[in-house]
Amino acid sequence: MAFLPPEGELTIGFAHAAYQLGDEFALRGRSARSFEVRNLDDLRERAPEADVLVVSGLWRNDLLPKLPRLRFIQSISAGTDQFDKVAIAQAGIRLASAQGGNERAVAEHAMSLILGLTRQIHLARDNQARQHWRPMIGDRARREDELGGKTLVVVGLGRIGLRLAKLAAAFDMRVIGVRRSPEPQPHVEAVIHPDRLAEAVAEADFVALTCPLTPETEGLIDARILGAMKPTAFLINVARGRVVDEVALLDALGNGRIAGAGLDCFHEEPLPAASPFWRLPQVIVTPHSAGETRAYEGNVVDILLDNLDRLGRGEAGLRNQIV
């Protein structure tokens, strides 16, 4: 018995608040039926029709018992921590991530945060809003800086981390990678084990988080690690909010123990209006948009179609297989 119905009988549900995944799928000329929803209420109503769901942030695990037809979930994001993988496996449903679909975008976003903080672009924008022409600065410690010769510590040398290392090398930065496996990597001077993270960040001018959220990485950047960083160093987070202890980070920023941060993800999203992060001049906040580019729908649909073809051929392995 085939794992999925024939493509002409297949129903695919696309669920995202903004992304135009259904339109992108329609351009591919496939025969499967599809629908698209923008909110959780509509997802709850339409999801029982689906053999395949393409979903990420709108997913809720309590949907599972109500989806008798569901056979495959294609996550829209690289992260899959919102999915109850045990329950999904027990239901006989397959799950794959969109890892690699945004590796270029997220690495470039991390690099833009590094450049923005180094060249003080955020402060220039603030000055523009005030129509203020900043005078020349005598205090060299307060001036914009250059990246050549600076040390970048990349925590998580997956696809995003390795691409960031390549970009940093183009700016003549020295790159240290943090990962469990010690194999040498291109554009990375040294690869060290996470047990030595405090030792690594002590050398860093920038610490960039590109790791997945796991039990091992949750709260990884805590008061001890922040305390090991230089007061001139910056933290860049394009991973997941819960990799960082936000209370400890706010304390470090407020007391000048690190120079600043570029943050794309937070414990609570959308970031509440009352959050102190909004008001810190040494912080650049972006709304978990690192992976969001004009190319993203196409990249996700490429992965989806690859996996549908694999399942249609009866193959056991999926691209970016999780379950």
Element (H, E) at 44: helix 40-46
Backbone dihedral region for residue 164 (phi beyond 0: left; psi -120 to 50: alpha; all else: beta): alpha
269 a catalytic residue: yes
Q: Are 244 and 221 within 8 A, CB to CB?
A: yes
Distance in angstroms (rounded) separating the CA atoms of residues 290 and 264: 7
What is the secondary structure of 107-165 as a DSSP string? HHHHHHHHHHHHHTHHHHHHHHHTT--PPP-S-GGGS----TT-EEEEE--SHHHHHHH
What is the secondary structure of 249-312 as a DSSP string? HHHHHHTTSS-EEEES--SSSSPPTT-GGGG-TTEEE--S-TT--TTHHHHHHHHHHHHHHHHH
240 a catalytic residue: yes
SS3 22: helix
Q: Name beta bridge partners: 35.
A: 13
Distance in angstroms (rounded) separating the CA atoms of residues 10 and 58: 21
Distance in angstroms (rounded) separating the CA atoms of residues 116 and 120: 6
SS3 227: helix
Candidate list 288, 297, 310, 319, residue with the active-site label: 288
CA–chain centroid gap for 314, Å, is 31
Distance in angstroms (rounded) separating the CA atoms of residues 92 and 90: 5
User: Hey, what are 20's tokens?
Assistant: 């135009």
Candidate list 9, 199, 269, 315, residue with the active-site label: 269
Kindly give, in sequence order, each residue whose CB lies less than 8 Å from that of residue 65, ignoring residues fewer than 6 positions away.
none
Candidate list 122, 240, 310, 319, residue with the active-site label: 240
38 a catalytic residue: no
What amino acid positions are annotated as catalytic residues? 240, 269, 288
